[in-house]
Amino acid sequence: MHQFPLIEVAGTARQMGRQHGERAAALITRYLACIEKSTGKDRDELGARARAFEPFIAALNPLLLDEVRGLAEGAAIPYQHALLCQARGEAAKAPLEGCTAFALNATATRHGQTLAGQNQDLPPEFSDIGIVLHLKPSDGRPRAITFTFAGQLGYMGMNHLGVAHFANGLGNAEWRLATPHYPLKRTLLEQTDIPACLKIIEQHRVTSAGNMVLCDGEQQIADVEIRPEAIAHYADEHPDRRLHTNHYLSDEFTSYNKDAMADSVPRLTRIRELVQVHWGSIDVEVMQEILADHQGDPGAICRHGEGGSHSICGYIAEPGKGLFHVRRGHGCLGTWTAYEV
């Protein structure tokens, strides 16, 4: 009850998908039911919509489609339902999700090592279908740990080279048929460093807006705001800091902040304050405390129901130690577990 189920898979793309499907079949069925409930639409209808994203996933990372086929076989579900798990937000045009993300480096941290992570803010029922997926490909791609939902091949995580990414929802963008966010996130976990990640992001336009905070094993950090038509890099006010919530911060995109989440600016202000207070002494334990902060309840860093979402989990990547920390539950009440990538 204090940890998400750990699913370990290894082998070829198809083998990993099949193992995932077999070991998480019941949870995958619950994920599909959750998608139906949240959208009011039948999974067959949504699965048919998901087929429209197939060419974009194939152009991004064709091995993912092999893994989806294996997933369908292992879970004994139709292929289009397995594909829907990779495009839930796009097929259903899901509402904006919250989240408070960070990446800190060198002068900010106690031992001069990179730390990055976030609180994940979602409707509470998503906590019941979360898993920690440990990927061990046999084809030379990096090993990776990702928190995700059963049947979804990737979400936030870190690979054994130290490449990690985290995300914030952004709004006020015209939706278009393009690359889904979840396959893009998984593909970033197959890269060697931040420049390789940025190349992927630049080459593949996405369906809707979002922000990504990244780090790698070379002590590089970055933040990139992504819209369907373009991307923009956000440098923050200090080179060893990237902090982001749910409004645009880059000069190129601040004009799109109309109708941004009301609590986004206060959350950003608060995490900036807390990071500054602890500057030079921040470690995993300090960040765990920051992610539990309640100023601004119920829309605080530790979110308790504002807009219908909660901080159902959190993550902290330690590339220097090869550790990915995952919290189940709110920042103030949940339990952290460290996973070695």
The pLDDT tens digits for 164-202 are 999 999 999 999 999 999 999 999 999 999 999 999 999
For 225-272, give the DSSP string. EE-SS-EEE---SSTTEEEE-SS--STTTGGG-TT--TTHHHHHHHHH
* Residue 95, pLDDT score: 61
Q: Give the DSSP H or E segment for 275.
A: helix 264-277
In order of their start, the domains of the chain are 6-340 (3.60.60.10)
Across the range 45-57, mean pLDDT stands at 95
Distances from the Cα of 222 to the Cαs of 9, 146, 225, 333, in angstroms?
29, 19, 10, 30
pTM of the model: 0.96
Q: Give the DSSP H or E segment for 323.
A: strand 323-328
* Residue 331, pLDDT score: 97
pLDDT in tens, 222-258: 999 999 999 999 999 999 999 999 999 999 999 999 8
Please tell me the distance from the alpha carbon of residue 112 to that of residue 115, in angstroms, as a whole number. 9
* Residue 38, pLDDT score: 84
pLDDT in tens, 121-155: 999 999 999 999 999 999 999 999 999 999 999 99
> Judging by DSSP bridges, how do beta strands 164-169 and 210-215 pair with one another?
antiparallel
Please tell me the distance from the alpha carbon of residue 89 to that of residue 85, in angstroms, as a whole number. 9
For helices 62-75 and 25-39, angle between their N-to-C axes, nearest 10 degrees = 100
Please tell me the distance from the alpha carbon of residue 51 to that of residue 53, in angstroms, as a whole number. 5
Give yes or no for a contact between 245 and 99, defined as CB atoms under 8 angstroms apart.
yes
- DSSP SS3 for 92: helix
Provide the terminal-to-terminal Cα distance of the chain, rounded to the nearest Å.
22
* Residue 276, pLDDT score: 98
Q: Which two tokens stand for residue 210?
A: 């979002």
- Among 94-98, 212-216, 256-260, the minimum mean pLDDT is found in 94-98
Q: Mind spelling out the 3-state secondary structure of 129-185?
A: HEEEEEEEECCCCCCEEEEEECCCCCCEEEECCCCEEEEEECCCCCCCCCECHHHHH
Neighbouring C-beta atoms of residue 153, cutoff 10 Å: 29
Contacts of 273 (CB under 8 A, 6+ apart): none
Please tell me the distance from the alpha carbon of residue 332 to that of residue 90, in angstroms, as a whole number. 31
For helices 13-23 and 25-39, angle between their N-to-C axes, nearest 10 degrees = 80
